[in-house]
């Protein structure tokens, strides 16, 4: 195969259908059913549900050989679409603003291509992964990893990249996306009469000290391997009740680093600074985390495959000087199995990810399918 005009139109139709009927993380029921229907009947393919609303399609030759997993995410975001094209989102307040409609479509194109080509040795898994945006999808897949049989030797995924020239391939060995985590602090003191704050435990000063201390931890230079970004997200304190001195506060931050090791040390710093501030002011501290993303650490050998694939397709290849600041839950899969993630340019004029006017460019569906195809040719045939 066999990139025909019919295939192009079919995949474009799939992409626009997915765009029209977006579903939030963990709720991808219709998306799952739709993709399952597209996969059913493809020669040699076995299909199982995974991580609730995901699908794992497997093409197994039954013979020894490489076992590769390709992942495409399928979830949408709680963002109101402002586009008015014909395939605009039919669901108020929900839309595909990260291009996962496109990622799922590329993966489906690859499934169709390789079921037609057939596999002489080894095994290929195609993972339609739900809930990437909240980090629960990859965790859900790993919780059911025994379903992925045989276990993969290597995993690959891509993300489309607005701001880069259309079709340009972007990658780098080592960190590709940031480790990202969200820290939630609850400071519990004691309310008192606003006229007698000394009789209560007001968290205001502890909060101010933590905000200042976290600011001092910043290492904002992206070229520094110890890069640390701490972003204040949310804060509350007390009530709008003017006779009462506040007795409770909450403070939420996101943390970003280039490596999982720096993240571990940043988290322990944040914990001890918050603890010290709480102790100084006699407050109880409750600390928790949410939406944790491991950094994607690209294996050099997998990056070489990606670069070779780009060259074989005469696509421009750029090695990024430093990682992207966003988190991607594929980091959990690449940490478990080894592999790499790469980017494909969505055009310099394409609105940024998570913007209300963003739309995945259909032009790069073919690029995505052909990139994975060339990577797999390398894995299965170039030895």
Residue 60 main-chain phi, psi, to 5 deg: -120, 120
Find, among 309, 327, 318, the residue nearest to 377 by Cα. Answer: 309
Residue number closest to Zn ion, CB atom = 98
Q: Give dist(CA 309, CA 371) in Å, integer.
A: 6
**CA–CA distances in Å: residue 287 to residues 103, 187, 375:** 35, 9, 43
Q: Which stretch binds Zn ion (CB under 5 A): 94-102, 183-191, 332-340, 372-380?
A: 94-102
**Structure letter (DSSP) for residue 19:** H
Nearer to Zn ion, 126 or 158 (CB): 158
Q: Give dist(CA 56, CA 128) in Å, integer.
A: 6
Q: Give dist(CA 118, CA 111) in Å, integer.
A: 10
- Residues in the chain, overall count: 383
Smallest separation (angstroms) from Zn ion to the CB of 259: 21
Nearer to Zn ion, 98 or 180 (CB): 98
Q: Kindly state whether residue 18 participates in binding Zn ion, applying the rule CB under 5 A.
A: no
Paired sense of beta strands 169-171 and 54-60, if any: unpaired
Are 191 and 247 a contacting pair, CB within 8 Å? yes
Smallest separation (angstroms) from Zn ion to the CB of 231: 16
Strand partners, 69: 125, 155
Nearer to Zn ion, 187 or 371 (CB): 371
Nearer to Zn ion, 114 or 293 (CB): 293
Name, in order, each residue with C-beta under 8 angstroms of 328's C-beta and a sequence gap of 6 or more: 132, 157, 159, 177, 293, 296, 341
Binding string, residues 319-358; x marks residues near Zn ion by CB under 5 A? ----------------------------------------
Among 11, 70, 94, 98, binds Zn ion (CB under 5 A): 98
Smallest separation (angstroms) from Zn ion to the CB of 179: 16
Smallest separation (angstroms) from Zn ion to the CB of 170: 14
Nearer to Zn ion, 324 or 380 (CB): 324
Smallest separation (angstroms) from Zn ion to the CB of 131: 11
Q: Which stretch binds Zn ion (CB under 5 A): 39-47, 95-103, 165-173, 340-348?
A: 95-103
Q: Which stretch binds Zn ion (CB under 5 A): 51-59, 92-100, 241-249, 287-295?
A: 92-100
Q: Which stretch binds Zn ion (CB under 5 A): 97-105, 165-173, 236-244, 338-346?
A: 97-105
Smallest separation (angstroms) from Zn ion to the CB of 372: 17
Q: Which stretch binds Zn ion (CB under 5 A): 55-63, 91-99, 160-168, 262-270?
A: 91-99
Strand partners, 257: 179, 228
Q: Which stretch binds Zn ion (CB under 5 A): 96-104, 211-219, 271-279, 355-363?
A: 96-104
Smallest separation (angstroms) from Zn ion to the CB of 2: 29
Nearer to Zn ion, 362 or 379 (CB): 362
Q: Supply 140's token pair.
A: 């859900």
Smallest separation (angstroms) from Zn ion to the CB of 166: 18
Number of residues that bind Zn ion (CB under 5 A): 1
Place of tokens 């399609």: 57
Smallest separation (angstroms) from Zn ion to the CB of 54: 15
Nearer to Zn ion, 95 or 297 (CB): 95
Nearer to Zn ion, 157 or 277 (CB): 157
Smallest separation (angstroms) from Zn ion to the CB of 165: 19
Find, among 154, 190, 42, the residue nearest to 108 by Cα. Answer: 42
Cα angle 204, 208, 213; round to 5: 145
Cα angle 167, 170, 171; round to 5: 150
Q: Give dist(CA 94, CA 42) in Å, integer.
A: 31
Name, in order, each residue with C-beta under 8 angstroms of 330's C-beta and a sequence gap of 6 or more: 71, 73, 132, 138, 155, 157, 177, 296, 341
Q: Which residues contribute to the site for Zn ion (CB under 5 A)?
A: 98
């Amino acid at each position: 195969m066999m990139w025909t005009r019919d295939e192009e139109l079919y995949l474009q139709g799939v992409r626009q259908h997915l765009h029209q009927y977006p579903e939030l993380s963990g709720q991808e029921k219709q998306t799952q059913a739709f993709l399952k229907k597209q996969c059913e009947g493809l020669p040699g393919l076995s299909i199982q549900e995974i991580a609730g609303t995901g699908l794992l399609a497997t093409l197994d030759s039954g013979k020894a050989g490489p076992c590769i997993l390709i992942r495409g995410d399928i979830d949408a975001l709680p963002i109101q679409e402002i586009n008015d094209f014909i395939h605009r989102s039919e669901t108020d307040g929900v839309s595909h603003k990260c291009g996962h409609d496109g990622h799922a479509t590329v993966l489906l194109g690859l499934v169709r291509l390789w079921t037609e080509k057939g596999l002489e040795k080894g095994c290929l898994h195609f993972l339609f992964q739900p809930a990437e945006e909240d980090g629960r999808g990859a965790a859900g897949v790993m919780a059911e990893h025994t379903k992925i049989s045989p276990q993969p030797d290597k995993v690959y995924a891509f993300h489309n990249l607005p701001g880069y020239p259309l079709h340009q391939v972007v990658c780098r060995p080592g960190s590709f996306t940031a480790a990202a985590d969200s820290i939630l602090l609850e400071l519990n003191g004691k309310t008192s009469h606003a006229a007698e704050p000394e009789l209560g435990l007001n968290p205001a000063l502890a909060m101010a000290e933590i905000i200042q201390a976290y600011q001092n931890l910043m290492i904002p230079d992206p070229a520094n391997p110890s890069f640390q970004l701490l972003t204040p997200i949310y804060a509350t304190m007390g009530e709008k009740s003017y006779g009462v001195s506040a007795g409770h506060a909450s403070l939420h931050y996101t943390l970003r680093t280039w490596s999982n090791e720096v993240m571990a040390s940043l988290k322990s710093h944040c914990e001890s600074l918050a603890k010290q501030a709480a102790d100084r002011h006699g407050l109880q501290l409750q600390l928790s985390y949410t939406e944790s993303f491991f950094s994607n650490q690209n294996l050099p050998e997998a990056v070489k495959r990606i670069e070779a694939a780009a060259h074989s397709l005469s696509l421009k290849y750029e090695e990024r000087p430093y990682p992207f600041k966003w988190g991607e839950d594929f980091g959990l899969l690449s940490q478990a199995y080894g592999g790499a993630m790469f980017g494909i340019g969505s055009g310099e004029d394409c609105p940024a990810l998570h913007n209300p006017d963003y739309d995945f460019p259909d032009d790069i569906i073919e690029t995505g399918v052909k990139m994975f195809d060339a990577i797999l040719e390398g894995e299965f045939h170039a030895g």
